[in-house]
Structure 1
Amino acid sequence: MIQGFKEFITKGNVIDLAVAVVIGGAFTAIVNAVVSSIINPLVALFYQPGEDGKFGPTLTGLYGQQVTFPLGDLISAVISFFAVAIVVYFVFVVPMNKYKERQAAKNPAVEEETLPTEQELLIEIRDLMRRDADTR
Structure 2
Amino acid sequence: MFKGFKEFIAQGNVIDLAVAVVIGGAFTAIVNAVVSAIITPLVSLFFNADETGKIGIQATGIWGQTVTFPIGELISAIISFLAVALVVYFVFVAPMNRYKERQAARNPQVEEPTLPNEQELLVEIRDLLRKNNAG
**Band of TM-score, shorter chain:** 0.5 to 0.7
SS at match of 1:39: coil
Q: Is the 8 A contact 2:31 2:88 kept in 1?
A: yes
Could you state the TM-score of these two structures normalised by the residue count of structure 2?
Answer: 0.61
Could you state the TM-score of these two structures normalised by the residue count of structure 1?
Answer: 0.61
Q: Would you say how many aligned residue pairs link Structure 1 and Structure 2?
A: 115
Q: What is the Cα-based RMSD across aligned positions, in Å?
A: 3.7
Rg comparison, structure with higher value: 1
User: Residues 39-118 of structure 1 correspond to what in structure 2 (within 5 A)?
Assistant: 39-40=47-48, 44=51, 54-57=53-56, 58-116=58-116, 117-118=120-121
Measured in 1, the distance between the counterparts of 2:54 and 2:45 equals: 14
Q: Say which structure is richer in helix.
A: 2
Higher RCO (C-alpha under 8 Å, 6+ residues apart): 1
- The letter of the residue matching 2:103 is Q
Identity of aligned residues (%): 46
List gaps (5 residues or longer) in structure 2.
1-6
Measured in 1, the distance between the counterparts of 2:45 and 2:65 equals: 30
